[in-house]
A and B are shown apart, each in its own frame.
Chain A
């Protein structure tokens, strides 16, 4: 019998607690995230190292929090729960549209001219070609994440441009694998006949021996476009101290540790600005991913 009243009292008491425990946990920690474009274990390994590097170089405790979706990364940035993020082209454009004052501060050397590979299962008989392979029509096709630049935006753009139709009308089935690693796995297993994948993720997977070229191969490469970048919130100078944004930029650009760079994998980081991503915004508007 007493348990029922205890239950009631406790519930009331801890309602107050719930509010008290959670907030301000990271009040003075510089928090960043990254779009989950690859296996989480890899991302964690990479960005925990980045966090240690930032903490050391900035003298401010830095922390990486993993998220489960591209949208969650953008939302966390928008809601000021992270102040810095490693975004793709599309997620970066979205984030900067939603957060006035946010700036792209650094990109990988390779991100100036990023590529998407269209890959196909061997059973399709599709061969590598210089021109857009129109015989894709009627196959099953998987994108990566719904919010990905290399796995969704650019491939969808080229599909629409070449067929003048929505992907749903071009392919017999359209899926979203979730990330690049899964896109490769799904096409390699034959679950989908064709897929679109980030060229860096492909090279990574190839190096670590996860790709069987007898089963899956590249059939077309998109023209280059700008992609990944570090984006920072405009209000960090107010929160830490003036010049913080510049210091973060410098620290990122000065990242020289070959292991760290290789984990991205990028040759180096170079300066970036919002205007670099205008082409992405235009494409996104054109295919109505952004209003």
Chain B
């Protein structure tokens, strides 16, 4: 694995940059393509891009997004395992096939939405589907857009 290096001359001046200053700024330092030696500047440094800000990539609607922790094995076949970090967006309207968070009997659950059969379907055959009652729409708490696993 190749690791990009910070130039030797890299220094922090004017105070440490504020990574949380504004949502537009990336909290990541730019990576320089090469080690800078005195005298000859690297021709690649003109092509420096901002780092990849995962948060901005994963969270499209910050005000409507919350994180949740998956528990149990009922969503295994969809690739969601115990302990996964789920990104949940409330601003999306849930469609059939979406992985959703719903409130069932006072518990938050993660299942696949099936609107035509009015069911919440687990992604594991050893669990039965949950039938939705009439006001089911208001029980959907958000659409899961990403699952992040700790390895």
Question: Is chain B found bound to chain A in the same assembly?
Answer: no
Interface of A toward B, CB cutoff 8 Å = none
Interface of B toward A, CB cutoff 8 Å = none
